[in-house]
Structure 1
Amino acid sequence: MTLKLSILDQTPVLNGTNVNEAFEHTTLLAKEAERLGYHRFWVSEHHSTRSLAGSAPEILVAHLAAHTSEMRIGTGGIMLPHYSAYKVAEMFRVLEALHPGRIDLGIGRAPGGMPNVGRALHDGNHRDASRYPEQVQALIAYLRGQDPYEMNVYATPLSETMPEIWLLGSSGSSAMLASQMGTPFMFAHFINGNGGQQATKAYRQQFQPSQLNQEPKATVSVFTICAETEQEAEELAKGLDLAILKGEKGEERSGFPTLDEVKSYPYTFFDEARIKENRKRMIIGNQEQVKEQILQLSEEYEANEVMVNTISDPFETRVKSYQLIAEAFDLQKRF
């Protein structure tokens, strides 16, 4: 089995940079990922944060698809409970018409930020995530050219192809919904380092063939930092350790933690325990170590594709990480 490698990019605002540079970095990474031979490149949705710039992934997908030519481009993901299934279908039908056979629509139910983000996106009201399964069903119908609510309304343009739909999640419930809907499933191991293997196994066992997919199709995404040496990778990972920790504690971040902040932060015993636990969400090391761990993860998930997500400072270390991983797996360069 040939393992495919893909990239999830969260458009982090690194130390000493601004949001304009963050988007420039994402664009440069997409171009380099395509050259290196990565299979797909996804961008995420995060709201009301100064540390991650990607609040509108559908717009970023349009931009990245226009700056690449062969690699699949998509969302990881669109947080569907915030939006109309009909409008999301229209947006991605336009994207698919512009870039036939290259667009992925990854969807999830998470808020994409703190609880009040949901209220802001719903004009001050609380969002109703309980309608998510119904929304997924309607979205699939619209994308397939159907009229799910029998209102004589169709998602246009009605092009010959449709984007590839993925359900994203970090729990067993998301896996079960994907199996019921007959869609591909991506487990966010970078969010939850526990239980993903069991959730994905259950997805495969209970998968119900659909007009979209006759067979189950699952992948896994994981934080990954690869460097020339294990020591260098570990040093780079300390910034990610602190970024995740501060997010869990609800501490405001204006950007990715600096080296000075990492060294001076007053870590408690609880903090150290959380950092150790969060390392389950990461693959860190030199080329040989990272390759071995990625292969092990793909075996545990029975996945023929792994999506890596590198956040490190400075930007050049992110580029180098993806280059080293591509080299380790002997990816076929496109040009």
Structure 2
Amino acid sequence: MPNIKLSHVKKTFPNGFEVVKDFNMEITDGEFVVFLGPSGSGKSTVLRMVAGLEEPSGGEIRIDGKRLEEIPPKERSMAMLFQNYAVYPKLTVYENIGFGLRQRGVAEEVIDEKVRLIANLLEVADLLKKKPRSLTASQRQRVALARALIYDPQILVMDEPFANMEENVRPRISKRVAEIHAQMKGIVMLVTHNLPIGLRLADRVVMMKLGEVHQIGTPSEVYDQPASLFVADFIGDPKINLIDGHCEIYDNVAYITTKMGEFRLPIKSGSALDKGSYHQQTVVIGFRPQQMLVNETVLDEKRFLQYQAKVAAVYDQEAGQVLRFDLDGYLVDALNTSGSLEAGASANFIVDNEKVHIFDKVTKKNINI
């Protein structure tokens, strides 16, 4: 029953750059935790510190209550896989995958059964007699992944394990990894730039930028209740719409005037907006294209903001049309899932006030959660 606890963990490089700032998190048995954020946010450094490859500059990391540095590497039951995969060039794929088990003295018949099972799951079963030099980058990465997964580690640390795989292979392999994790339990910590895969796999998401944690939550929490403008903008495709507005507060309702019209948002008790300091202030309104309605009838004028505009551009996505229009410099997108519109057409757009986010113009924090 592994447990990982990071308390006030920091990492500062010799040049003084603080790549991880005061990281705090507890991860329990069975969790699949995905780290998301732009390059340079400190995600990989956190994983490398948990793996023991980097030493924290401050704070501590505990596994099952013991400080990481007090646990000998061979007793950590941890497997690591990084984007720069390492496979043994002189060994066959079969020998590469079974190497760890063989080092642990596992019986050959057990090794053979496990190697063939994991090789089949990760689609390298037809390559077992080959050596790495004859494989593609995608195949070599799957071999490295198979070697990491084969002995059911209690903790699996992966940094961009799907990066070198073909577009059509990634979804299948990531699904297999999720299935394997569900059977073995343990803890998985994954860094990926592939947003759809990351959100699909995660029990919890860690959103990081410039060494700071902006939010830790389930995929639905970071999507529906983003803690900051960064989180709101990073999660979601097409991206969230953002527009400045003038805020006035009366009777626990925020009336926010924008170039689209007036939003009327009920103020959540205990939120920063509830304190009244944003009256007569400029704020940033955020609403997702997926949550807008196109050419629908408004039933509740207080709950829904309605406006009409000409479509400036159309972009096709798998989920439907993305309709874009320009409001004096503000580009606003709506996801149209019914019918079809062309650029230049006039359309009626509806926004649900109850699904709109309000951000501080300066701190960029969500002030109504």
Given the two structures, how large is their TM-score scaled by the length of structure 1?
0.31
Higher strand share: 2
Q: Could you say which structure has the larger radius of gyration?
A: 2
**Which structure has more RCO (C-alpha within 8 Å, separation ≥ 6)?**
1
